[in-house]
Structures are given as structure tokens and as C-alpha cells.
Chains A and B, each alone.
Chain A
Amino acid sequence: MMQFRSLQARLLAMSMGLVIAVWVGVAWLTWTTASHDLDELLDGHLAQAAALLVVQQIEPEESDEVADAPSLHRYAPRVAFQVFHEGHLVMRSANAGTVPMSAQPRGFSTERLSDGSQWRVFSTRGAERDVQVYVGEQTASRREILRAVLLGMLLPLMIALPLLALLLWWAVRQGLDPLRQLSEVLGHRRPQALEPVGLDNMPSEMRPMVNALNGLLQRIENMVMTERRFTADAAHELRTPIAAIRAQAQVALGAGADVSQRDHALRYTLAGCDRATRLVEQLLTLARLEAAPSAVASSVVPVNLSGLARGVAADLAPAAMARHQILELEAGVPCWVTGNDVLIGVMVRNLIDNAMRYSPDGAKVLLNVTTEAGQPVLRIEDSGPGMTDSQIARLGERFYRVLGSDQPGSGLGWSIVKRLADAFGAGIQVSRSSLLGGLAVEVRWPLP
């Protein structure tokens, strides 16, 4: 089927095509019924005329002369008859020849005569005497009548069609007006305008589309907001570490002969750089999680939580040892969870990192991977200061940091952990560790 770029052209072409098809169908039906009826009618006339002629031959004149009937009507040349008595032509119309018009003694036949004209002939015989009558009519005349009928039907249509096309074009245009208005409204929008399109006076056919469009706009707006918030957060949160780096670097420059002060400042400068780097990484992780939460669930594979926790703990062990912290893992059997292994790794790392970061030197951090009632559970406990209930309640707020911790954290770790747990469908519980007295964090995966 032909592809139309314009809905209007498509509608117009389809409706015009349908109108023409219906008209042609009607014409064809009219033609066939008309030709059938006409045939019946005219055949009836022929038969009637023949019967009349047969009846008239009851008292034949004994004459050798052929009586030629005069032509009385302009239509007469198209009608002819012959009457034979015992094989002799006794009467004929002016236009009839001497040879019998049909070889058939009775009934209808269609004959082509020597002059090329085609005739519909009715033959009949007298009942008592040898009378043979032929009445014929030129078939061309029948076709002319039919043509006239058909023309009578088609001619108005020929005139009406262009008018109809014009009117249909106008009607379709009127009908599609809301669509054009919508495209105008959308076309005149500023690129930043993400507010939904109004549904007032919107035709019901367009509502689903506009609703879908509004949904899309909403999603785009959310994404833009996330993006903006990320940019703003990132800029703000980076300001402090950068300010610290700058201040420390200036202190180092201004330390002069005070070597210990300079070294202290330089060490802090480096630590500030590490901290800014970590902050950037965390912000990016969070931005990715927020921008595409579905991506988290996309690559879901069985992950051995015990093995994963062991790997992460091994990575972090040197840092723990440097602070004389004891990092222990209790993970007897493999414990399978489903999720993205890299992201589960990020979560576990953040949890252990937090426990170590906010516990003093020499503290103990205990990791435990078990299965409880079929549910995989990761538990991280520390002997640090723990948190109060109000502090626990504020955990996971972006950039929320517990007061008095000298650790330069960004407060983003928990946001990441919380988001990841949500994505995995895992629940997180924070409480006071009964074993070590510090913070206890429990991540509980749903039943596999």
C-alpha cells in the first residue's frame, strides 16, 4: 500500500477511493440488473410481436409477392421481421433480407448477419399451418439504451467527484484541526518547558497520545532534575574538599622553616585529594544509580555473597590493619543471592568502609554471611561509637554526616547503599550491635 506522509492526504485518498469503489460497484450492479431486465422486456416484446405476426397469418393471401412493411419510426431500421409460408418469404420489414434471420425454428437466438450487424432474433412457427416467423432486433440498440442508463448514473458522479474531494479535504482538515493545534503548541514550546500539555478540549482519540507525551515529559523532567541536583550537589560537595586542599597547600607554602607544620599540611593536602577523588566516585555511582535504576537489575546473575564479601574484606584489610582495626569474616558456606556482582560489591564495600571509617583505631569490625529462614543475610557489626536512634533515622539522607566524626566522609555512602539495596529488593536494618556495642547493619535479601 502506498505510504502517505500526511494523515490528511491519507484520509482523503482512502475516503475518495472508497467513494469511487462504492460508486463503481453500484454502477456494475445497476448495469447487470438493467441489462437483464432490458433483455427480458425486449425479448418479451419480440415474442409478442412474433405471436402477433403468427396470428395474423391465419388467412394468408395467395400471392407470390412479398409484402414489404413500411418503416414507420426512426427506430424501425433496428427492428426487422420475416414471415415464411411453407418456406416462402411472404412478408418482411423493409430492412429484412430474404434469407431467414435464424437457423433456429423456435426460440431466441443471437445471429450475426452478412452485413456484420448483430441481431437478437425470436423464431416461432404457426401451430396449425406452416408459418415461420422471425422477429429480430439489433443488439446494438440494447447496448445503447444500457449505455444511456449508465451514463445517466455516472455523469453526475463525474461532476460530483471533484466537488466531493474538495469537501472531503475541507472536512478532514477540520477534523484534524486539534492535531494541528497540538503540533503548533508543541512547536512553539521553549526547549526547557517540560510542563504537561493541557488536556482540556482534547479529543478522546488524542488523549492517550497526549497522556503518553505528558508521561514522557514527566520522566524527562525527573531526569533533568536528577541531573541538575547531581550537578549542584557535586559542585557544592566538592567545594569543601577543594577549599581544604587549597587552605592546606597555602599553609604548607606559608610554613617557612616550620618543617613539621609544612609536612602536616602537605599530608592533609594529599588526603584532601584522595577525599575529593572518593567523593567524585561516589557521586558518579549515585548519579548512575539514580539515572538508570533499571540498569541495576539488568544484569542479574547468581552471586556468591560469601565469596564476594571475602574479596571486598581482603581489599580493605590493609587499611584496617594500618589503623590496628580487626576485620573478621564469618562465612561458612556459599550463600547465593541474585544481583549485579559489581554493584553488590559496591554496597558491601561501602558498608565495611563505613564501619571502619567511623570506628576508632583498634576497633573490631565483624562481617557475617548466613542464611536465615532461607534468606541470605549479610551482617556488619563494629565496636565503634554506634549511633543514636535519631541519627539512624537520618541515615541515607544525602550528605548527612554524624557529628563529631573526624573522618572526612561525604555522607554519600549510605545513599548509595540504600539505593542499591532497594534495587536488589533487599532490606536494610540498622541497630546497636549486641555483640560489639557499636553499629550493626543487616542486609536481608528476599527469598530466592
Chain B
Amino acid sequence: MRILLAEDDPMLGDGLRVGLRQLGFQVDWVRDGVAAERELATGDYAAAVLDLGLPLKDGMEVLQTLRGRRVATPVLILTARDGVPDRVRGLDMGADDYVVKPVDLNELGARLRSLVRRAHGQTQDFLYCGAVMLDPSARHVTLNGNPVALSTREFDLLHALMLNAGRVLSREQLEQQLYSWGYEVDSNAIEVHIHHIRRKLFPDVIQTVRGIGYLVPRAPDPS
């Protein structure tokens, strides 16, 4: 899951970036409001962690601009401002969550996953596709109840596709969701990962729409 982190404090930014990576997120880190706005406008991110006291452009303004442009990326505000009016303003301005510093990394990760899940209209923790169950928080996949070992990339790819079940995602879209900045992505990396996933689960779990992309068919919830 690719996350944009907008935080101007070098020490905290570094900690959050590395910490969220440990939790399996792909993290891009920007340090000012203008960069945050520019990056978020691309829509490549599953969610964003936004500090309010950003240089050049205040986090609240960034949020306002984005929502004005109908960018729906879930945004979690992470700030030192803990007043109730600040919280209310942040949420009213279009934030999806409001967290006051300091925050536990695990909690931050859980909140981000929850934001992404809700953004895709899900109410449950787990994603299902036929006999496949994906647990985003434990980064765990089972087939017919038996655990299947997937690599980080394979998991993220499956997660992205299952989150958008029923929608076709292009290779570029998948690449953007999977890789943070600074990675050299091989042109056939996605195909290789999909091949592995199919092998580990079953071939039809991911369907290829020739010339367009890939999709995981929408399956009714088992419940």
C-alpha cells in the first residue's frame, strides 16, 4: 500500500517512513505543503499522512485544495494541534482521520489500513475472493483456510487488486501503488509477481484483460 507522508520534521519524518515500511507500507515522504499537494493530486496513493504545520502551505490548505479538486485519497491528519476546534475543522475540511502526536506506529498503520478499507467501501477487516482470504493488518493470506506465503510485493499486489475487486487496474496503476520513489521497476515486474501469485494460489484468482490490465473478480462476501 503506497502512502504519502507529509511531515516537515526530519526526525519524525524519518521515523514514520521507516516505521511504516516495517509495517509493510510503501512510503513517499514530502516535507512541505506544495509538494504534498502536487503528489496527492496524482491520485497514486492509497492514503496520506498529513502534518498541519507544513512550510510553504499549511496542511489544512492542502486538504482544502485537494478536496476542492475532488481528489478523494483518504487523508489522516497527524498534528500537534489537539484542540477540539482544530479536530472539528480538520475533519470538516475533508480529513478522514485526525491523530494527535505522538502516535503509536502500529496504531497509525491500523488507522491507515482502516482508511483505505473504508475508502473502498468495505466494512470488514478481511478481504475475500472465493476461497482466498486476505488479512491486511496481519499481512496474511489463506487459501481454503490454509496459509499461503507471499512476498511483500506479491501481497501488496494482491491487496491492491482485491481492494479494487471488479475493477481493472493497469500495469502502470499497479506499479504506482506498489513502488515508492527511488525504485527501478523492471518492465515485467508486475507480470512476474502475478505469475507467482497465480502459482501460489490458483490461476484464475487474477484475470488478465488483454491490453488493459488485471482484475480480481468481485465475489460476494461469504457472510
| Chain A residues close to B by CB (< 8 Å) | 235-237, 239-248, 250-251, 254-255, 261, 264-265, 268, 271-272, 275, 401, 403-404, 406-408
Contacts of B100 in A (CB 8 A): 239
How many angstroms between the C-alpha atoms of A128 and B101 in the bound complex? 133
Binding site for A on B (CB under 8 A): 8-12, 14-16, 18-19, 22-23, 31-32, 55-56, 78, 80-82, 100-106
A237/B80 in contact, CB under 8 A: yes
Q: Are A261 and B18 in contact (CB under 8 A)?
A: yes
Contact at B11–A239, with CB atoms within 8 Å? no
Q: How far is the CA of A408 from the CA of B9 in the complex (A)?
A: 7
A13 and B28 CA atoms in complex are apart in Å by 85
CA distance A403 to B81 in the complex (A): 20
Q: In the complex, which of the residues A247, A265, A407 contacts B102, with contact meaning CB atoms closer than 8 Å?
A: A247
Q: From B9, B81, B106, give the contact of A236 (CB < 8 A).
A: B81
**Contacting pair B19 A247 (CB below 8 A):** yes
Contacts of B14 in A (CB 8 A): 244, 248, 268
With A243-B12, A401-B55, A406-B10 as contacts: A250 and B102 at CB distance below 8 Å: no
For B101, what are the chain A residues with a Cβ–Cβ distance below 8 Å? 239-240, 242-243
Chain B residue contacts of A239, Cβ below 8 A: 80, 82, 100-102
Inter-chain contacts of B102 with A (CB < 8 A):
239, 242-247
- Tell whether, in the assembled complex, residue A403 and residue B105 are in contact, meaning their CB atoms are under 8 Å apart: no
| CB-based contact A240/B10 at 8 Å | no
Complex contact B10–A254 (CB within 8 A): no
Chain B contacts for A241, CB-based, 8 A: 9, 11-12
* Contact residues in B for A254 (Cβ distance below 8 Å): 19, 22-23, 105
* B108 smallest CB distance to A (angstroms): 9
The CA of A407 and the CA of B11, in the complex, are separated in Å by 9
Q: List 12 A-B contacts (CB under 8 A).
A: A235-B80, A235-B82, A242-B101, A247-B19, A247-B102, A250-B15, A250-B106, A254-B105, A271-B11, A403-B55, A403-B56, A408-B9
Tell me, in angstroms, the Cα distance from A403 to B58 when the chains sit together. 13
Q: CA separation between A246 and B103, bound complex, in Å?
A: 8
A104 smallest CB distance to B (angstroms): 109
In angstroms, Cα B14 to Cα A272, docked, is 12
Task: Report yes or no: B16 in contact with A247, Cβ–Cβ below 8 A.
Answer: yes
Tell me the complex Cα distance, A251–B105, Å.
8
Residues of A close to B31: CB separation below 8 A: 403-404
Bound CA–CA A406/B9 (angstroms): 8
Contact (Cβ within 8 A) A244 B81: no
Residues of B within 8 A of A261 (CB): 18
Q: CA of A247 to CA of B100 in the docked complex: distance in angstroms? A: 13
Contacts of A247 in B (CB 8 A): 12, 15-16, 19, 102-103, 105
- Give chain A residues whose Cβ lies under 8 Å from the Cβ of B80: 235-237, 239-240, 243
Q: Which residues of A contact B78 (CB under 8 A)?
A: 243
The answer on a CB contact under 8 Å between B19 and A272 is no
5 A-B pairs closest in CB distance = A247-B15, A243-B102, A244-B12, A243-B101, A239-B80
User: Considering residues A251, A255, A271, which has the most beta carbons from chain B within 10 angstroms of its beta carbon?
Assistant: A251
Residues of A within 8 A of B8 (CB): 401, 403
Nearest A residue to B22 by beta-carbon distance? Answer: A254
Cross-chain contact B12 with A240 (CB below 8 angstroms): yes
CA distance A251 to B56 in the complex (A): 29
B32 (CB) vs chain A CBs: closest residue: A403
Q: Tell me the minimal C-beta distance from A394 to chain B in angstroms.
A: 11
When A242-B101, A243-B102 are in contact, do A251 and B11 touch as well, CB less than 8 Å? no
A408 near B10 (CB under 8 angstroms)? yes
A250 to B8, CA, bound (A): 20
The verdict on A248 contacting B104 (CB below 8 Å), with A236-B80, A254-B22, A401-B55 known, is no
Q: Quick one: given A255-B22, A265-B18, A401-B55, are A250 and B105 in contact (CB under 8 Å)?
A: yes
- Shortest CB-to-CB span from A264 to chain B, Å, is 8
A13 to B54 alpha-carbon distance, docked (Å):
71
Chain B residues within an 8 Å CB radius of A243: 12, 15, 78, 80, 101-103
How near does chain B come to A424, taking the closest CB pair, in angstroms? 31
